[in-house]
Each structure stands twice: as structure tokens, then as C-alpha cells.
Amino acid sequence: MSTVAVTDQTFEQQVLKASGPVLVDFWAEWCGPCKQIAPALDQIAEELAGHVTIAKVNIEESPATPSRYGVRGIPTMMLFKDGHMASMKVGAMPKQKILEWLAETGVAAAAA
């Protein structure tokens, strides 16, 4: 499963009402660090399919959602569980650090 594009209109359905955990990546086309982590997030989406959904919100195309969750800088990654934000990381991280973060939150324990 690859990453899922989410908009202000689809955020509630695809993230808040999702059956499992969702890692939301808030990004923009002009953001260099966002582009750096994109391949790692794509790989994680494939490796952890069934454990976590990786969703991407373009902050320029969908500004209401990042505003609602207080996103100040990008990339910002938020982990949502059962409709609530459970954890957040700001800034680019290597793939291994993202996997460690997911393991700490109990999402990727089976796959880590």
C-alpha cells in the first residue's frame, strides 16, 4: 500500500475515522526536507501495510487541517489513533528514526 493523499475535505473520513493508526505527513512542494523524507515514508507505507496508514496533507492545498492542529513548521508528522493525535514529530528524520518512533508508540512493534 502506498501513501494516501488527504485533503481538508477527506481528513475526517480518512484519518479521524480510520480503523487503524494513521501517520499524517504535513508537507509542501517547495519544502526540501519534506522531499527528503518522502521516499522513507513511501517505503514505510509498503513495509507496514496493514499496521499503519501513511497519509500526506499538502499544507498549501489544504490549509485548514494543519491550522486546526497547530502545524507551525514542515515536515510535521502526527500519529493519529482512534480519532485523536497520539504523537507528533517535527522535522526530517531518517527512515530508521521514523520506524523507532512508530515502535515507541506501539504501532510498528510487530514490524520493527
Which tens digits make up the pLDDT trace of 9-47? 999 999 999 999 999 999 999 999 999 999 999 999 999
Q: Which domains does the chain carry?
A: 4-104 (3.40.30.10)
34 is known as an active-site residue? yes
- Answer whether 57's CB lies under 8 Å from 25's CB: yes
Distance between terminal CA atoms of the chain?
Answer: 17
The pLDDT of 70-78, averaged and rounded, is 97
33, 40, 94, 97, 103 from 5: Cα distances, Å: 18, 16, 21, 23, 23
31 is known as an active-site residue? yes
Catalytic option among 6, 22, 31, 74: 31
Catalytic option among 6, 34, 59, 71: 34
Which tens digits make up the pLDDT trace of 40-69? 999 999 999 999 999 999 999 999 999 999
**Greater pLDDT, 112 or 1:** 1
- Answer whether 107's CB lies under 8 Å from 98's CB: no
- Answer whether 90's CB lies under 8 Å from 34's CB: no
Angle (nearest 5°) at CA 53 between 95 and 62 = 95
